[in-house]
Chains A and B, each alone.
Chain A
Amino acid sequence: MTGFGEGLFNPTDAVINWARKNSLWPFFFGLSCCFVEEATAWGPRYDIARFGSEVFRGSPRQADVLIVSGTMFQKIAPVALRLYEQMSDPKWVISMGSCSNSGGMYDVYSVVQGSDQILPIDVYIPGCPPRPEAVFEGLMLLQKKIAAGEKPTRPVLHLPGGSQGGREDFLVDGATKCRDTRGPGYAGIPIRGTAATEPRFAGSRAEVMWTPPVPGLVLTAGQETLAADLAAVFGDDARLTDTVPTPGDMPTYVVAPARLPEVLAYLKEKAPTRFERLEDLTALDETARRVPAGHEATVVYTLTSMSAATMVRLTCPLPSRDSSLPTATGVWSCANWYEREAAEMFGLRFDGHPDPRRLLTHRDWIGHPLRKDYEGRATSRPAFTRADCERLEPVDAAEILGRRAAAGDYLLNFGPHHYATHGIIRYVLAMRGERVKAMGIDIGYHHRGVEKIGERQTWHQFIPYTDRVDYLSGIANNLSYVTAVEQLAGIAVPPRAAYARVMLSELFRLSNHLMYFGTFLQDLGMMSPIFYALREREMVLDIIETITGGRLHPAWLRLGGLAADLPEGWKEQVDAFVKIFPGRLKEYHAGVTRNPIVRARTKGVGGISGATAIDWGITGPNLRAAGVAWDRRKAMPYGAYADFDFDVPTREHGDCYDRYLVRMDEMAQSLRIIEQAAARMPGGRYLSDDARYCLPQKDATLRDIESLIHHFVNVTRGPRLPAGMAYAATEAPRGEQGYCVVSDGGCHAYRMRIRTPGFANVQALPLMIEGLSIADCVAVLASYDYILPDIDR
């Protein structure tokens, strides 16, 4: 606008902008890891209230700032777009974190390479994840933008001209945006070298390197008995594998597909060693093997015997990737989701499956992502646009529940965006009044394709991805992964590293359980505990930051040890925390545990029996709350856990109250372990001297050329691991997290399978929730402690 009125409204513009910028109302919208830091910014140490933005609104109608915190998945993109549309005007968008900015680490089929392809972004916050201070920086930049760039008086008075609100245009690939990973301006310049893509990195010198064979397996007496027994009952239809190399982690049987349910049922109910739990069920695409396997696909069943603390693996070779085999849902109901996942990811068919639909990907998704010929990189696929949002619109609630919803039930979508879902998961509830009659679960909104990424990152490069599998447990995730790889290659970990790993894992268990404590009670309606919990959690994160330099995702473990030695001053900090924390724990109990309202809300609500919990593969504190004293740290110790003295807390009923108490007790036990680890921390190397696979210690690389060469080779193209397969599980804060790493003798995994506690735990949720009222449903979800990337991966 020019002419009359120019400058007339400057004073009112300034006043309106001043009012707006100092009372921004962020939308309570989190996609993944970044949201934890966004929520921490709201907590006591950082206190976002200083910026006038502490009121995170649960409804888009009451919010005017959308902070896209986390990974923009293709499945969630239509939802995010709708929520943005439903926000009140004028509105602004902050993109928080690398994933939202550009896809970040996740250049993979399921992730939109930048939220700006569908949403107009005003401010970008870099980081993975950005610290709470960075959130403030972003917020202040937005405030500056509002104050400097907007002329709201005219639009407010319905006059032509002026401006208010954030950008309104989104970016279009090729026109306003460039997805070239080298940055803009490189158009027409050919990419030098080749990307590491499946099945292997072309031209790598690692191909000519020799690696020693993997350690073999010597059967124990019990395993011999089982092998003899299976041979007697099933003959050649269930025989010990004769492939070379033989997996060294557990006995592996080759089972004829037709007899599979029979063998599984036998192992579960009649065998001399009973295998009560279906630990994992997955598949392998064998078509890209260096040495052709003779069949195109293999289905892998991993079973755990809790009575004998041992494991067994069954493999089922299939002639083609479209083959079918009988379902295992008749033996273990929890095979349901595992089979659906294997079917959509590999194209297999499971005959007799009760619900053969896609699980993680959208109904209309094309292709089977974990097949070797499927293009995994999003940057090699067409850009995601707003038109795709319409195509991938979430399916209707009635379709998810199917016949389980009776006529006259009200179908309620609980999530993917909701305070109480703790992440982007969608429950569909068939309601009669306040009562949940049937519950359907739609997962996959947080599917980051991490198993596909594992097939193109070198063994070391994959470590940062493991941090983000359970984004509240950082190093505890690293531990599961490196344990599996170390098992595969037979790498010995020096005692100092083993102790430090235990200490850090337990610190993360504490940090996770503190977050649990706060959010559980917040969902029950208590506002204060989360502030106390975040205060203590910051102390834990301070220790972790001192040692590792990171907060949520330190990526600090390495094959054979740690990234660096423990720094000066770590012990004083740990000792101070060990002294302070028991008193704080007492405070929590005094304030919460005996609170009659908490008891009334949680006692006897959402209980599950121990036997059912085992049958459904529930692990971790949720299993122990049901009275099963099974903890991998005790039952099948890994790392240095056998050296430590601690108890396994259990409870009886498996209801919400018990789940809460078990975690409170676990915090005390974790503290005992931390105290012992700190007091008895051994000296010596922090990285294994197995230079073939491990990085050399940093100081050595600065002194001798041999170490420098090893460092260079193992960092750039990565170590070449022997062919083989290994499964290792650890007791992560939320339950048992296992990595099944398959190597074809390359610098990358041939298959990276992650068995997560959340997947099995959440699958069993309808058992606990159906029949409860909707308020109790929230209590069960809050007490259950799951996390989304851990379910969807």
Chain B
Amino acid sequence: MPPTAEFTPLLAPFSPWEPGALPLVVFGAIVLVVMAVILFLSGFLVRRRPTPSKQQPYECGIRPTGPARFRYPVPFFLMAVFFLLFDVETAYIISYAVAWPELGLPGYLRLAVFVIVLGLGLVYAWRKGGLDWDEEEGL
């Protein structure tokens, strides 16, 4: 609120945005302590009573067949990798767009190189069959 003739605050309003290392350190320390307390309590208060049945994996009440570590087709992994790739690209492009007035044409060209290289990578992966996976056998 801007000071007016009728009302003038005695103190300047406190701003949490003011630079200063101490509040950050205090804040960080509090976070660490709280996290440590929570982790300790949830580890300490829990009642662990392991029995052979309890240690088994839950599979609808039946003893599982075969090991859990086996060759598993990875289409979801691929999907996740592609997603990450383009997600990172989006993050770059948006932060670049915000800085457009300062960067100007040189910035535009540099980013274009980045996008083209990524695009080439995509074309390469696509042509190698990276997008048509066999969902039963993986790649």
Contact = CB atoms under 8 A, between A and B. Distances in A.
The reply to whether chain A is a binding partner of chain B is yes
A416 interface: yes
B61 interface: yes
B95 interface: no
Interface stretch (A362-370, A393-401, A532-540, A617-625): A393-401
Contacts of A415: 60
Interface string A378-413: 000000000000000110111000000000101111
Given A82-B61, A433-B75, A89 B66 contact: no
A80 B138 CA distance: 37
A397 B62 contact: yes
Interface in B81-139: 135-138
Contact of A90 (B47, B60, B136): B47
Contact of A426 (B60, B71, B138): B60
A158 B44 contact: yes
Contacts of A59: 58
Interface centre among B56, B59, B73, B137 (most CB of A within 10 A): B59
A434 interface: yes
B54 A413 contact: no
A416 B71 CA distance: 26
Interface in B27-49: 44-45, 47, 49
Contacts of B62: 79, 394, 397, 413, 416, 426
Interface centre among B58, B65, B70, B71 (most CB of A within 10 A): B65
A86 B47 CA distance: 14
Interface residues of A, number: 39
Contacts of A408: 70-71
A340 B7 CA distance: 93
A426 to B, nearest CB: 7
Contacts of A397: 62, 65
Contact of A413 (B45, B60, B73, B137): B60
Contacts of A412: 59
Nearest to A405: B65
Contacts of A89: 47, 49
B71 A82 contact: no
A417 B60 contact: yes
B15 interface: no
- B contact face: mostly helix, strand, loop, or mixed: loop
B53 A433 contact: no
Nearest to B75: A433
Contact of A156 (B45, B56, B70): B45
A155 B47 contact: yes
B51 interface: yes
Contact of A80 (B47, B59, B61, B66): B61
B73 A433 contact: yes
A270 interface: no
Given A82-B56, A85-B51, A434 B135 contact: yes
A418 interface: yes
A289 interface: no
A416 B60 contact: yes
B47 A398 contact: no
Contact of B53 (A82, A157, A396, A414): A82
Contacts of A421: 60
B14 interface: no
Given A86-B54, A155-B47, A410-B70, A393 B63 contact: yes
Nearest to A155: B47
Given A432-B137, A433-B72, A433-B138, A413 B47 contact: no
Nearest to B45: A156
A85 B60 CA distance: 13
B53 to A, nearest CB: 4
A411 B65 contact: yes
A410 B135 CA distance: 14
A74 to B, nearest CB: 15
A227 interface: no
B65 A413 contact: yes
A418 B136 CA distance: 25
B125 to A, nearest CB: 20
Contact of B58 (A61, A411, A416, A426): A61
B76 to A, nearest CB: 9
B64 interface: yes
Nearest to A85: B53
A606 interface: no
B135 A433 contact: yes
B66 A83 contact: no
A89 B51 CA distance: 11
Given A396-B65, A435-B135, A156 B47 contact: yes
Nearest to B73: A433
A411 B60 contact: no
A60 interface: yes
A191 to B, nearest CB: 38
Contacts of A393: 63
Interface centre among B61, B75, B136, B137 (most CB of A within 10 A): B61
B13 to A, nearest CB: 41
A437 to B, nearest CB: 8
Interface string A143-158: 0000000000001111
Contacts of B71: 408
Interface centre among B60, B64, B75, B137 (most CB of A within 10 A): B60
B61 A396 contact: no
A370 to B, nearest CB: 27
A68 to B, nearest CB: 13
A156 B48 CA distance: 10
A396 B63 CA distance: 7
Contact of B61 (A164, A398, A416): A416
Nearest to A418: B60
B65 A79 contact: no
Interface in A155-177: 155-158, 164
Given A86-B58, A156-B47, A413 B64 contact: yes
Interface centre among A89, A394, A433 (most CB of B within 10 A): A433
B65 A432 contact: no
A433 B137 CA distance: 7
Contacts of A435: 135-136
A728 B121 CA distance: 70
A316 B59 CA distance: 44
A530 B80 CA distance: 34
Interface in A415-446: 415-418, 421, 426, 432-435, 437
Given A426-B60, A433-B72, A86 B53 contact: yes
A61 B49 CA distance: 13
Nearest to A411: B65
Nearest to A29: B61
B71 to A, nearest CB: 7
Contacts of A80: 61
B48 to A, nearest CB: 8
A432 B73 contact: yes
Nearest to A434: B135
Contact of A86 (B45, B56, B72): B56
A410 B72 contact: yes
Nearest to A415: B60
Interface in A34-65: 59-61
Interface string B11-31: 000000000000000000000
Contacts of B61: 79-80, 82-83, 416-417
14 contacts: A85-B53, A85-B54, A86-B58, A89-B47, A157-B45, A408-B70, A412-B59, A413-B59, A413-B64, A414-B60, A416-B61, A426-B60, A433-B136, A435-B136
Given A79-B62, A156-B45, A415-B60, 20 more contacts: A60-B58, A61-B58, A79-B61, A83-B58, A85-B53, A86-B58, A89-B49, A398-B65, A408-B70, A408-B71, A410-B70, A412-B59, A413-B65, A417-B60, A426-B62, A432-B73, A432-B136, A433-B75, A434-B135, A435-B135
Interface of A: 59-61, 79-83, 85-86, 89-90, 155-158, 164, 393-394, 396-398, 408, 410-418, 421, 426, 432-435, 437
Interface of B: 44-45, 47, 49, 51, 53-54, 56, 58-66, 70-73, 75, 135-138
